[in-house]
Chains A and B, each alone.
Chain A
Amino acid sequence: MSPVLAITAGALFAAGTYLIMQRLLTRIVIGLGLIGHGANLLLLGSGGPPGAAPFTDQAGQAMSDPLPQALVLTAIVITFGTTAFLMALAYRSHALTLSDAVEDDQEDRRISEANRRSAA
């Protein structure tokens, strides 16, 4: 795997992880997209040095491994589908609550409730 590819994948993971930690759904969606790209890049890099054609009819010519490319293609399609679903879900959430923020879950709310009561 070339250093450029490795660093790019690492940067995508870092940015994606940061965005997932945010409260706003749109950022989470973008973050997941970035992580998906990072994973795809890593998968592509696992096939050895890039640049050569995956298929050739000339013996002795340099070939790159076609399998990771096929895997990445499948993974891209799946990531695309799930991202589209997530966007629809974010839109639905916005339509229902008029906000884009992910709220606390039930346990968190119970704990903060208990804290408030004990403080009062």
Chain B
Amino acid sequence: MTAVVGLLLVIPLGAVALTLLLPKLVWRRSVSLIASTATLIASVAVLFGVDGDGPIIVNVGGWEAPLGIALVADRFAALMLSVSAAALLGVLIFAVGQRDNDRAFPSFHAVYQTLAAGVVLAFLTGDLFTLFVAFEIMLTASYVLITHRAGPEQIRATMTYVVVGLVASGLFLVGIGLIYAATGTVNLADLSVRLAEVDPALRTAIGWLFFMVFGIKAAIFPLFFWLPDSYPTAVAPVTAIFAGLLTKVGVYAIIRTQTLLFPADKPSTPILLIAGLTMVIGVLGAIAQGDIKRILSFHIISQIGYMIMGLGFFTVAGIAAAIVFIVHQVVVKTVMFLVGGLVENSSGTGRLKEVAGVLHKFPVIAVLFLPAALSLAGLPPFSGFVGKLALVQAGFESGRWLVVAVSLFASVLTLFSMTKIWSGAFWGTPTDNLVRAPAATMVMATGGLVALSLVIGLAGQPLLEIATRAAGDLLSQESYRAAVLVSGS
């Protein structure tokens, strides 16, 4: 099994090298598709292995933890890996189906697989500095993807994205420097032992510094302004994978560091406050927009609030609910942006004023949109309902009624803004600009992810059970610490 965890990194990096060398587009596409499929299979295998037998540790280069770099696959990491690999594969098929992505951009597949490698490394890494490197790999690939074929408007928006990303990286380095000065280690398992001995005031300060650094990447309130400005300017598959994955890697890092390094034994009011504000401000921003991609971008922010809320309870139920919610969001957010891409692909615009009647002209797009939109709003029996129900129950258990009420209020507004897209773009008499029928590959890729989100909705119970086990591991810290440090001594 340890070999499979190693393979998870080797596959995308190998694909990067190969796609850079291969001269023909067909070969590059095949290598990239095979690599993404293999990553998905390997991640699911790791998920089943980890759920049965406990965390898998790989000591890179044979140096044992806490001296060397450890890759740690526990339940949380494996779950995130599997769903991310599914989203990466779906979007890749969509991008290949849209044709002009990799045709006009010869190194598209190399950059895309670099992004995949960064995401995989971020989930697997067992030390803070490798997490920094993983973020840089992922973000640098995203800078290249978002600026490709950019006009003046995209360059301006990307500039904000890149500068904010680099400032966050600088602060991340500062955090690593401070934590190393305080403890003398960057290994997460080792840190969780040694940080307990550090002065509580200093620990709290470092904890909030890391919360802020990852909060910028995850786009929580009030650090989200870069997101709705930059994401909508990229091409559809690129926006879809950014929306589905990048912010969730930030949330993953927040949950990992807050539970392992800065644990709390009672609900954290500041975190819940931030969560509530993120939900409401995000969804209010969405309502004010008139463009499909911009509406959806503000929804990313709003939904991040729900995940942070689950963390804020600091209970097994709360974190399990947050994990289920992240799994659902990765799939559904990707689908929503792919559907937005399909509408844009057909009409050449995503502005609600300029496009209408998609339902009558291309009913298949509407069929893909509806379950994803209802899922995003959290209606049963779709996947969003499972996550939101679990969050609400966890909130009641912790006795935090106010934030639960806020989250339900934000859900209603989410439904409202979804109906805005539906009545604006899908109903009405078809506009003349609806000329290009969507390619079958693009519809299939989106449809596959819609099916996955339906499966998540129907298989809510098993998913919640595995998420509960993952959350138990996160909160007790023992299994993580024992696995990393015992194998290292």
Contact = CB atoms under 8 A, between A and B. Distances in A.
- A and B bound? yes
Interface of A: 1, 20, 25, 28, 32, 35-36, 38-40, 42-43, 45-47, 65, 67-68, 71, 74-75, 78, 81-82, 85-86, 89-90, 92-93, 96-97, 102-103, 105-107
A21 to B, nearest CB: 11
A32 B167 contact: yes
A46 B177 contact: yes
Contacts of A85: 140, 143-144, 162
Tell me the dominant secondary structure on chain A's binding face.
helix
Contact of B173 (A1, A47, A75, A81): A75
B133 A105 contact: no
Interface residues of B, number: 37
Interface of B: 129, 132-133, 136, 140, 143-144, 147, 150-152, 155-160, 162-163, 166-167, 169-171, 173-174, 176-178, 180-181, 184, 186, 225, 228-229, 294
A67 B63 CA distance: 14
Contacts of B163: 20, 28, 32, 86
Contacts of B176: 43, 71
A46 B178 contact: yes
Contacts of A89: 147, 155, 158-159, 162
A25 B174 contact: no
Contacts of B171: 39
A25 B166 contact: no
Given A38-B170, A39-B174, 13 more contacts: A35-B170, A45-B177, A68-B177, A71-B129, A71-B180, A82-B162, A90-B159, A92-B150, A92-B155, A93-B152, A96-B152, A103-B156, A105-B156
A78 B136 contact: yes
A97 B151 CA distance: 9
A68 B178 CA distance: 11
Given A32-B163, A82-B166, A85-B162, A102 B156 contact: yes
Given A32-B163, A45-B177, A47-B180, A39 B155 contact: no
Contacts of A102: 156, 159-160
Contacts of A96: 151-152, 155
Contacts of A81: 140
Given A74-B129, A105-B229, A93 B177 contact: no
A93 B132 CA distance: 28
A93 B162 CA distance: 13
11 contacts: A32-B166, A42-B178, A43-B176, A75-B132, A75-B173, A81-B140, A82-B136, A82-B143, A89-B155, A105-B157, A105-B225
Contacts of A38: 170, 174
Contacts of A82: 136, 140, 143, 162, 166, 169
Q: Which 6 A-B pairs have the closest CB atoms?
A: A46-B181, A39-B173, A43-B177, A42-B177, A46-B177, A35-B170
B173 A40 contact: yes
Contacts of A20: 163, 167
Contacts of B158: 89
Nearest to A103: B156
A21 B178 CA distance: 25
A29 to B, nearest CB: 9
A43 B229 contact: no
A44 to B, nearest CB: 8
A68 B171 CA distance: 16
B192 to A, nearest CB: 18
